[in-house]
Structure 1
């Protein structure tokens, strides 16, 4: 253990010593909104399979600033997000100090993870979904435009994205009714009804704190606004999407639901997961040129399971565009940034077939169905299907950082 990591060493009998588990040690400390049995929602932090109230930790320390006490005195992350980077760092240091100290154990109450109720971790302001995986974009191009180049001419010059619907972002475990809409038909006239091509999109999402009323967040300043990350399943109705998206892009095929994990992993916990992005094939505009910037790719390994069968393991390290570039691009035109804004990476896919983050790619739009252990063939999601996406990333000293999971079950249409 290096001197810089000495603060991570739990004292015997400390909360961290008693409860740390792989993926959720003191090097992680993700936040959530939770309610203990019989209690009200509050901001919590996770260690192993235990959850502690953040406000109680701060109050027990006795050295916290009034601004920090105010920032964590709420039912979710909203107050902390508004407080900004210096307060985030102060809180993380204080929580770490308390959890590794044996003296604090008797004064801190923790709750079993299975006994608490988890809620949306923050109030979503605006939502942008990107299209940042070259492998995903290439696969989609080959599926739908087989006689053209798979990537559009703009793809390697900017991170393509669209403004999503923040009001239908839901927390993990929320049931997803099958959406309805207009579907293309072979005879040319569309039909209205439940989607026949309900799909998943395995993504990583990023939670924004602070504000930039004038926009234009630089690559070097991105770390001051990205508070943390979550797992995302951006459910997609592929047939509805295919009929509606020309000329303005996704709408009803996407807006019915986007699920996120309840645990927000602080960006500070991912310092050991930072990696260089793939080599750039085109010269980039100055605001996107990261050739001289600190690495902001992330080595996150995702895992997608449908009905308890692992169908894909997408690698986030293969993403062409980084979170810093996505944030710089969405603000470069002067668009304001505010606390609670949220953006997602788009489908994470790697070069291998087993690394594709959507059923559209895994089954090549249904022409090559997945063979399930039951003997059945699966092209897209049927009613009752249960989808779970998990992920881990490298942590300090050979540890792993866990993200928990984002899950959802498909229900019949309303």
Structure 2
């Protein structure tokens, strides 16, 4: 069976699907992963077929930030979605029996699958189905919601997504020669299968989710074969006690203030640090600091004393897998959700939103991670539970069912 996984966005939106794709491929399927061109090497290095999606998330972020008005920013994003819709169609038309889609491109992927007569399912890295048990990731004032308010907020997010994609979906329908759909409730059909790639020990499956919506356990990024840690990193790790990791992934633009904050916080906390440059281009200097580029978190994090990160879904998962305490510095989208979850689980102090980040607050968060044994004890306990899960197994079951229903 030819399976296409469609994802869009940053590295954190791509890496978990390399592991899921390899697992599907090891089960005998032919797997392609459609993503932006800057991730072509990552996909191919992991042994999967790469199919290109247009656009660059870095350039999109820069263009939206530089837009002179909110209307201009919306126009930039609308143009991005137009190109992305064409890209999803081209990728799927290149030979696909089952289409699996991340949350971001899901409206495009579902419509393309419908037009091509291909069964599809969602593979989401964060909760994407409304529930009364918690508000949707990214919802403001999330701590003040009633059960009814949580559910309404989830439906509102789906309705806003439908509105955001409306124009490109209308054009895709015409291109696919599909009839206009009558008005319906927001979001996908009620029976559309969705697999959520996170641990039920981290986010228990809500009791009000329908039976076609699953919480599977994590899908771990595939480490490229033959990867070896760079010598400077090995030397740094061996030269003293375990360092902390500090990295803000793809969410933070270049910011000289942030570099100064990190440098001062490391000194004030009295720790050694491995600092990942990320989109912020961090390169702090100091005898106790080692700047690095992209590295497999599954290798590095178990060798650290704590991890400071932006609370993206993938980095959050990697820290939990490693069994180390975290200090979460959320920026936007689903990151406040995961940051709050880490604190609720007892593996992290209270979240430190990026606008509140100073050398003093970051140093205090680091010392809290290191000086309170309960954070590490709880992190180790969660890591043991997560290690028993097989997140890809449920996706294999869903794809087999879709293939059977297709005949």
Q: Give the TM-score normalised by the residue count of structure 1.
A: 0.26
Q: Which has the higher contact order (CA 8 A, sep 6+)?
A: 1
Instruction: Determine which structure has the larger helix proportion and give its number.
Output: 2
Higher relative strand content: 1
TM-score, normalised on structure 2? Answer: 0.26
